[in-house]
């Protein structure tokens, strides 16, 4: 079998224990076969653990192996008696060479997959095949594919596409330009990214530039920034703040909008869809969708109280 | 007019000209007419008023304050330590502030608390260095201080590294990186309102004692023979320079070059006398950082980190000045 970087992967006949090198990989391995995941890249925090069955929430912390900063010790990965290492996300040459290197060192097959939202169904199928869980993976992939298709159809019915600014960090001045993985949801939803002309990837922009863009909607992942826009005279001059369309993405147990950049962002597609195209997404029942996503991917439905806390937090949805 | 007076006049002129220019340019188009209307309290469109009074104005003034503060602190330290390679962070103020800010980001605090952590971190770090350094007897007191500063700075640096390592790689790590790069992009009137008074408070003793500051450059026993208690004076200078630097760094993040090389530029122009040096260093520091920051916010859709430009512009300028000047230390 060939992974997305073109490297040939020879998995053992029976894959029982999988080490996921980063959060997007953990999430998909867990979704396909929760009992095969040997650990999380970092231990579940107390506010994240209640979303999972206790035995899964208590899986050990093994560290990250690739991407931004390694924290995993290769010996720990070996000690975990892993049959397969999986990473999902960027598939550039440096990651591919790192994968080859670790594979040679450990003699554990190391597969890379594409982490983009649109690639998720294909990634699920390929990963399922590799892990020997094709049936489970196919179910998830088909469902995910259908949800993406429906979201796309809703967007297709929209006559206007709002101008959206994504503000990161406590100052809200960090944003992602066109093609950034951080604003993939905006691109998927056909929204006009106010910062499209900024470079692809994260960048700080001058406040005056935001004022020129004058976005109609602001989405953020930072609760401190969200709280500050209402009293900061600078931000109050921006249209989105004046018309009270600044929204804060939920972040438990994994973020909805930007990070980690994995399959979890389907939640953000629905959420941002409802905010950006209220009419076209009016009949989408967010509570039901979130519940179903959790059931399929996290293997536990959120309680009513958990849903209330997630969706009722100030800024998550219009009042 | 002698060359010294000329240096002051030219620097002050450059500063005034740059300030006017900085108010007039930016990503958001503001005409000179509108600019004058806002500054003289006449009504203009609310957006223009916001740009001038809430965004651009505070940022211009903050660049002046931060530039002047870093240059003043650097001048004081270089004189006191009798060392041309000394910068304001020699006693760990920037590293301490950085640790405070990084901790604040790590704990997902709001921006006010992050600044407070940074400010307190700077003060605590220098306090610690001074407390330990002044208790290491049997060495030259300045050497003890510098070495303590270096080792404590390294210790704090490794604490920063640990927090970066533990930080969330998608969210907190970029925020930490941006803070450590330094920037005036997020300056608000409130930031200016807190940093400027603190910087002035630090400046006051330096201005009042500017003539005595020269004695600090003498060996301790000689200074004492002239009736100056160098220990007390040194404590005061360290406290003042730390206050200024910590106030600046808390709102701007770490901006290098200014505190290290602006004092040299000033010294090349007017010589080593602290009383003459301090005002010129502050003028040059303010003008330099303002020029850099104006470029940072205008040349591209995205912000350019000032640290990139300070060296890029400052280095040729400094070498040119160095080649031109005939003055020795």
CATH number at residue B201: 1.10.3470.10
Q: Is B249 domain-assigned?
A: yes
Q: Note whether A293 and A37 are within 8 A (CB).
A: no
Please answer yes or no on whether A209 and B54 come within 8 Å at the CB atom: no
> b/e map of A2-35 (b: 16 or more CB within 10 Å)?
ebbbebebebeeebeebbbbbbbbbbbbbbbbbe
A276-290 pLDDT, tens digit each: 999 999 999 999 999
A261 touches chain B (CB under 8 A): yes
Quick check: B175 and B47 in contact, CB under 8 A?
no
Give domain status of residue B211, yes or no.
yes
Kindly report, residue by residue over B1-60, the tens digit of the pLDDT: 688 899 899 999 999 999 999 999 999 999 999 999 988 888 888 889 889 999 999 999
**Chain B touched by A174 (CB under 8 Å):** yes
A231 vs B contacts (CB less than 8 Å): none
Domains and CATH numbers, chain A: 18-150 (3.40.50.1980), 158-312 (3.40.50.1980)
- Is B329 within the bounds of a domain? no
Strands A84-89 and A18-20: parallel
The reported pLDDT for the residue numbered B1 is 64
Fill in the DSSP letter of residue A222: -
* Model confidence, pTM: 0.89
Q: Give me the pLDDT at residue B326, please.
A: 67
| B167-221: pLDDT as tens digits | 888 889 989 999 999 999 989 999 999 999 999 999 999 999 888 888 887 777 7
pLDDT value at position A70?
Answer: 63
Cα separations in angstroms, A106 against A94, A109, B127: 18, 8, 49
Judging contacts by C-beta atoms under 8 Å, the chain A residues touching residue B307 are: none
> Who among A203, A208, A221 is closest to B26 (CB)?
A208
Both tokens of residue A133? Answer: 């869980």
Q: At what angle do helices B57-80 and B258-270 cross, to 10 degrees?
A: 70
Is there a domain that residue B293 lies in?
yes
Q: Which residues are paired to A52 by β-bridges?
A: none
- Residues 6 or more apart whose CB falls under 8 angstroms from that of A35 comprise none
The SS3 call for residue A40 is strand
| Contact predicate A206/A154, CB 8 Å | no
Q: How many CB atoms lie within 10 A of CB B131?
A: 10
**Which secondary structure element, helix H or strand E, spans residue A19, and what is its range?**
strand A18-20
Domain count for chain B, please give it. Answer: 1
Task: Provide ipTM, 2 decimals.
Answer: 0.83
Could you give the angle at the alpha carbon of A305 between the alpha carbons of A299 and A308, nearest 5°?
Answer: 100
Residue A198, pLDDT score: 86
Give the C-alpha separation, B157 to B179, whole Å. 14
Classify residue B136: in a domain, yes or no: yes
**Cα separation of A48 and A197, whole Å?**
36
> How far apart are alpha carbons B82 and B79 in whole angstroms?
5
Q: Determine the angle formed by the axes of helices B189-208 and B111-133, rounding to 10 degrees.
A: 20
- What's the rounded Cα separation, in Å, for the pair A293 and A289? 6
Contact B219, B230 (CB under 8 A): no
What is the separation of C-alpha A170 from the centre of its chain, rounded to a whole number of angstroms?
20
Does pLDDT of A66 surpass 80? Answer: no
Put simply, the answer to whether A258 touches B170 (Cβ < 8 Å) is yes
**Residues 228-247 in A contacting B (C-alpha not used; CB under 8 Å):** 228, 232-234, 237
Cα–Cα nearest to A112, from A62, A67, A60: A67
Output the CA torsion sign for B163, B167, B173, B178: negative
Residue A31 near residue A51 (C-beta atoms within 8 A): no
Q: Residue B186's domain spans which residues?
A: 3-324
Contacts of B297 (CB under 8 A, 6+ apart): A206, A208, B26, B27, B59, B184, B185, B303
Task: Give me the residue label for tokens 């930072």.
Answer: A222
Within 13 Å, how many C-alpha atoms sit on residue A269's CB side? 27
In this prediction, residue A116 has a pLDDT band, given cuts at 50, 70 and 90, of very high
> B91: which residues sit within 8 A by CB, 6+ positions away?
B77, B125, B126, B129, B130, B145, B146, B149, B238, B242
SS3 call for A319: coil
For A293, A317, B32, the CA distances from B21, given in Å and listed in that order, are 55, 43, 10
Residues of A in contact with B169 (CB under 8 A): 64, 67-69
Mean pLDDT of A125-136: 96
Quick check: A67 pLDDT over 70? no
Confidence of residue B74 (pLDDT cuts 50, 70, 90): very high
Chain B interface test: which of A44, A115, A208 (most B C-beta within 10 Å): A208
Q: How far is B275 from chain A (nearest CA, A)?
A: 38
Report the residue from A206, A212, A258 with minimal CB separation from B297.
A206
Q: Enter the tokens of residue B286.
A: 């303010």
Q: Does B188 sit within 8 Å of A212, measured CB to CB?
A: no
Average pLDDT, rounded, for chain B: 91
Instruction: Say whether A208 and B27 touch across the interface (CB within 8 A).
Output: yes
Chain segment B235-252, per-residue pLDDT in tens: 999 999 999 999 999 999
DSSP character at residue A59: P
Cβ distance of A69 and B46 shorter than 8 Å: no
**Residue matched to tokens 């179903």:** A292
Q: Which of A166-170, B30-34, B143-147, B320-324 has the lowest mean pLDDT?
A: B320-324
State the nearest Cα–Cα gap between A234 and chain B, in angstroms.
6
What share of chain B has pLDDT > 90, as a percent? Answer: 61
Q: pLDDT tens for residues A170-208?
A: 999 999 998 888 999 999 999 999 999 888 888 999 999
């Amino acid at each position: 079998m060939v992974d997305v970087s073109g490297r040939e992967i020879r998995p053992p006949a029976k894959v029982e224990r999988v080490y996921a090198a980063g959060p997007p990989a953990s999430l998909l391995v867990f979704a396909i076969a929760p009992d095969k995941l040997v650990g999380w890249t970092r231990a579940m925090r107390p506010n994240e653990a209640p979303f999972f069955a206790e035995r899964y929430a208590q899986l050990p912390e093994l560290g990250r192996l690739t991407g931004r900063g390694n924290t995993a010790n290769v010996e720990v990965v070996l000690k975990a008696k892993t049959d397969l290492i999986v990473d999902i996300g960027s598939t550039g040459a440096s990651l591919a060479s790192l994968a080859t290197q670790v594979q040679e060192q450990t003699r554990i097959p190391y597969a890379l997959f594409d982490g983009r939202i649109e690639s998720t169904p294909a990634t699920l199928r390929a990963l399922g095949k590799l892990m020997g869980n094709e049936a489970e993976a196919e179910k998830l992939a088909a469902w995910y594919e259908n949800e993406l298709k429906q979201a796309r159809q809703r967007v297709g019915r929209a006559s206007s596409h709002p101008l959206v600014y994504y503000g990161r960090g406590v100052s809200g001045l960090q944003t992602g330009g066109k093609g950034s993985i951080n604003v993939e949801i905006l691109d998927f939803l056909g929204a006009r990214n106010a910062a499209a002309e900024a470079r692809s990837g994260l960048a700080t922009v001058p406040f005056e530039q935001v004022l020129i863009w004058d976005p109609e909607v602001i989405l953020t992942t930072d609760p401190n920034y969200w709280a500050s826009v209402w009293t900061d005279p600078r931000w109050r001059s921006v249209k989105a703040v004046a018309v009270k369309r600044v929204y804060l993405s939920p972040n438990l147990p994994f973020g909805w909008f930007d990070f980690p950049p994995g399959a979890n962002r389907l939640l953000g597609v629905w959420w941002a869809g409802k905010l950006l195209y209220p009419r076209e997404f009016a009949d989408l029942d967010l509570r039901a969708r979130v519940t179903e996503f959790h059931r399929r991917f996290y293997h536990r439905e959120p309680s009513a109280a958990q849903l209330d806390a997630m969706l009722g937090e100030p800024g998550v949805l219009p009042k | 007019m002698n060359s010294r007076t000329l240096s002051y006049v030219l620097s002050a002129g450059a500063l005034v000209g740059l300030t006017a220019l900085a108010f007039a340019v930016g990503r958001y188009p503001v005409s000179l007419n509108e600019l004058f209307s806002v500054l003289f309290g006449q009504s203009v469109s609310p957006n223009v008023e916001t740009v001038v009074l809430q965004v651009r104005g505070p940022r211009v003034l903050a660049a002046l304050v931060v530039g002047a503060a870093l240059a003043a602190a650097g001048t004081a330290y270089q004189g006191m330590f009798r060392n041309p390679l000394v910068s304001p962070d020699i006693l760990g103020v920037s590293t301490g502030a950085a640790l405070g800010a990084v901790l604040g980001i790590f704990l997902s605090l709001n921006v006010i608390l992050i600044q407070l952590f940074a400010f307190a971190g700077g003060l605590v770090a220098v306090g610690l260095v001074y407390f330990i350094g002044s208790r290491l007897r049997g060495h030259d007191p300045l050497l003890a201080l510098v070495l303590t500063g270096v080792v404590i700075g390294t210790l704090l640096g490794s604490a920063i590294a640990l927090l970066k390592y533990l930080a969330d790689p998608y969210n907190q790590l970029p925020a930490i990186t941006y803070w450590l790069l330094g920037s005036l992009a997020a300056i608000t009137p409130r930031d200016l309102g807190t940093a400027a008074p603190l910087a002035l408070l630090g400046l006051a003793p330096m201005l009042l004692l500017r003539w005595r500051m020269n004695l600090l450059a003498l060996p301790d026993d000689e200074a004492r023979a002239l009736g100056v208690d160098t220990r007390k004076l040194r404590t005061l200078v360290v406290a003042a320079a730390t206050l200024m630097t910590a106030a600046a760094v808390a709102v701007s993040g770490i901006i290098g070059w200014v505190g290290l090389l602006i004092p040299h530029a000033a010294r090349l122009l007017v010589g080593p006398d602290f009383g003459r040096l301090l005002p010129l260093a502050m003028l040059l520091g303010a003008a330099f950082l303002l020029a850099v920051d104006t470029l940072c916010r205008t040349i591209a859709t995205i912000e350019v980190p000032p640290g990139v430009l300070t060296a890029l512009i400052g280095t040729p300028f400094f070498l040119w000045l160095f080649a031109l000047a005939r003055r020795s230390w």
